[in-house]
Structure 1
């Protein structure tokens, strides 16, 4: 009996002695197979293996523990041995159960990563004790509901990732106590409406991810309580409509992602209130054109991404005329985009990066964009027709080839003789251009314009003088006798009358005084024929 009591007493003492060994010896002696244990940095990392329980023989002074891609199914009381932990990563395991107060001894833990497990439920007692926690990652689990006060004890939490779950219901008080939360992921769940009523306690929230849900529309004042929000992600939220009141309260919003939705037009008016917006993504929607001043009101816009829109076929001139501060434009993988009208990309003096990759562009109008500040240009994977219309671009590429610009070659798709060749290395002659010198072209244009003006003037003069010319022509073809008689007849008029009749032979205007004198003379000599001297 005494031996049994001694044995029972010695077991915990021996176990305790294991943890009281010098740090280096304890860590090295008890490091599980497949793990790396460093007792200098107090870090243990276990790679892919067959661990199905959390080891209890590690250094109790451990600060960082990473056991990923194993088969751990539950976290039990073994966590109490590691009260010094500041970082714990148990992602990609088979966790489905976390009893209440599992982390009650982890007062110093700041990051907890439980993503991609099989956790089906959590309660307001699951995370008790985590008073220093700033990051909680529960992404990729089986959560379907967030109950009242489930995160209440996490006073210092700044980032909460609940994406890729099955959450369809969020209690209006689920986020109570999270007054320091700055980043919230609720994307890729089964929410049918924006959980506006639950946002009240999130007074410090700066980033909100709500994409890949089924909202259809965003109601009035959905985000009005989030007046510090700077980043809103609604990618793939099944939106077919937004209104001018959908974004009330978001005056400080800097980044908005509306890509991969069902918008049939660019919501110009609806976004006009977002005057501080700097980044906007609108790709993979159903609109077919980008009209003039499509982004009016967003004068601070710096980055615009419109990629993967299957119906987009045209960009009108002045499409970005209200966005002179744009620095980056990405318009890529729009398989129906064949037209970018002249002036569509003009008036953008700060543009540094232009991506027009993988569209259906065959040519680009002369001077479509400016190279003032442009650093990156990508026109690859377009069916470019290499002819004289594209010579301006070839010249730009050649002129900038020695600069710091990052050029991706523009490859010809046609004609067949130039297929797969880089535009930059082709000569103007190969492009079918007979006059390649811009100065020579200017001179030719000036000469043609001047010639056209001269011919037009000459035609007008000929038209005005057509009667006089006809008389001259008749006089020169056998009517010399009539011409002499006419000249003798004219001599009988006074010098003043003669000058009046012939001062404007083309009928371009007759002086009234001369016309009156002529009429008076005719009146006094009515019926009297003057006999020319030659007939006396």
Structure 2
């Protein structure tokens, strides 16, 4: 371990003694605790937040393990750190740090988390973090870093989370992450990268979560994330993407969560997404596509959650859009201001769908056959321009029975801003109060139409036979009439009397006038 020279030791001793002399002792603060700080010698925690400190305090308990100095005015990291060799957590966020002298952390071999975010650091090198052999979390977010040189983090073999977001990084050396064999989470979002730093990913075989949104990619080439076979979460939100190559996601066989929100995609990248067979969550709102077409998410058989929020051009969800996504449990279609056409059957055939959000769109009505409403556990339909009439009586009854979020009417004017749940069948213009009566009436009417139509079709189809049958019937009737007439003529009154006498029938007396 490097030794301090005599001058450094002497300076440190003087500072320590001075601190002990000027620091007041109170019943609630440990000895050497600066005014306004909270120091706990039992838990070895020191909290000095918003205390206007401009240097690191050197009078603290040397055994402290957790040091929080955020929101102060500290400009540099000096030799004071050498006194606190048991530190495990340090937060220097939101200070005025401009640079970090070489070997500033050489004695912090036990340090596990270091937060330097929200400072003014413009450059770091591979000696900046020398000594941090146990570090697992390094936060450099919101600084002024412009470049990541070779082997910058190689001295931190246990690092698991690295946050470099919201800097000015435009260049990353292919070996900048060399040695980070344990890295699991990497933030490179909100920088000025013009392309995905694919070569730099080759050494990150253990990476599980990557955030590279808010850059200026515009295009994802084939194998853009080569080497990241264990990646589970990929955030490409606000990356400026307008084009994605067919094989851009090739190799991401374990990806479960993909965020493509706020890009410039004019169509849903169906073929590109089909490589992600294990994908469970997809967010793809705030893009420029106008329709969710049939089989838009083909191949995503494990998809459980789909979020399409804020797609300003989206107008229609086609029937069969989710026919390959039978495991969908959660669908969010929200704040799509032009979305008014959700085709019948678009949400049918999803046996696992339990949560549905349809709020803040342009829906004027909802079909009872649109989805298996009774199977839903949660339903959000507010802020749509709903036209309330008898066709929504079923929805009113459903909302009452399942205690769902209310829907306010927009039209007709007489019902504007009135909650649908509070409206009676008469308010909705229903002629029958019981929907079952309506169903029976409709059934009877349909049956009558079908019966009459069938009879008409039968008569039309066999009209020739019917005509012949009618002719035969009329001819036979006329023939019978003639025979009866002839038969009647065969017998005279005298013949009838004679025949009656022969058969022992008493003749009816005839009175002669």
- Interval containing the TM-score (normalised by the shorter chain): 0.7 to 0.9
1:430-472, Cα deviation, whole Å (9 max, x unpaired) = 1112134333223212321232234334545666278679989
Structure 1 counterpart of 2:97: 95
Displacement of 1:166 in angstroms is 0.3
Structure 2 counterpart of 1:110: 112
- When normalised by structure 2's length, the TM-score is 0.86
Cα distance in structure 1, aligned partners of 2:456 and 2:354: 52
Structure 2 counterpart of 1:384: 386
Describe the shift of the 1:10–1:398 C-alpha distance in structure 2 as closer, same or farther (beyond 3 A): closer
Unaligned runs of 5+ in 2: 1-8, 487-513
Q: Is residue 239 from structure 1 mapped to residue 241 from structure 2 by the alignment?
A: yes
Cα distance in structure 2, aligned partners of 1:339 and 1:460: 38
Cα distance in structure 1, aligned partners of 2:14 and 2:169: 47
Is the 1:26–1:59 contact (alpha carbons within 8 Å) kept by the matching residues of 2? no
Structure 2 counterpart of 1:69: 71
The one of 405, 409, 420 equivalent to 2:417 is 420
Q: Is residue 409 from structure 1 mapped to residue 409 from structure 2 by the alignment?
A: no
- Give the alignment's Cα RMSD to 1 decimal: 3.1
The one of 280, 290, 293 equivalent to 1:291 is 293
Is the 2:202–2:226 contact (alpha carbons within 8 Å) kept by the matching residues of 1? no
Cα distance in structure 2, aligned partners of 1:89 and 1:106: 14
- Which piece of structure 1 moves more, 103-112 or 443-452? 443-452
Is the 2:12–2:80 contact (alpha carbons within 8 Å) kept by the matching residues of 1? no
**Aligned residue pairs, count:** 473
Cα distance in structure 1, aligned partners of 2:314 and 2:222: 29
Is the 2:267–2:289 contact (alpha carbons within 8 Å) kept by the matching residues of 1? yes
Structure 1 counterpart of 2:50: 48
Q: Is residue 59 from structure 1 mapped to residue 61 from structure 2 by the alignment?
A: yes
Structure 2 counterpart of 1:455: 452
Is the 1:367–1:392 contact (alpha carbons within 8 Å) kept by the matching residues of 2? no
Structure 1 counterpart of 2:171: 169
Is the 1:27–1:59 contact (alpha carbons within 8 Å) kept by the matching residues of 2? no
Is the 2:159–2:183 contact (alpha carbons within 8 Å) kept by the matching residues of 1? yes
Structure 2 counterpart of 1:443: 440
Displacement of 1:383 in angstroms is 1.0
Cα distance in structure 2, aligned partners of 1:118 and 1:231: 29
Matches within 5 A, 1:264-283: 264-283=266-285
Is the 2:241–2:263 contact (alpha carbons within 8 Å) kept by the matching residues of 1? yes
Structure 1 counterpart of 2:124: 122
- When normalised by structure 1's length, the TM-score is 0.82
- Which piece of structure 1 moves more, 168-177 or 41-50? 41-50
1:79-137, Cα deviation, whole Å (9 max, x unpaired) = 11111110000101111110111111111100000001100000000000000000000
Matches within 5 A, 1:519-530: none
Describe the shift of the 1:113–1:485 C-alpha distance in structure 2 as closer, same or farther (beyond 3 A): closer
Displacement of 1:246 in angstroms is 0.3
Is the 1:134–1:158 contact (alpha carbons within 8 Å) kept by the matching residues of 2? yes
Cα distance in structure 1, aligned partners of 2:56 and 2:13: 19
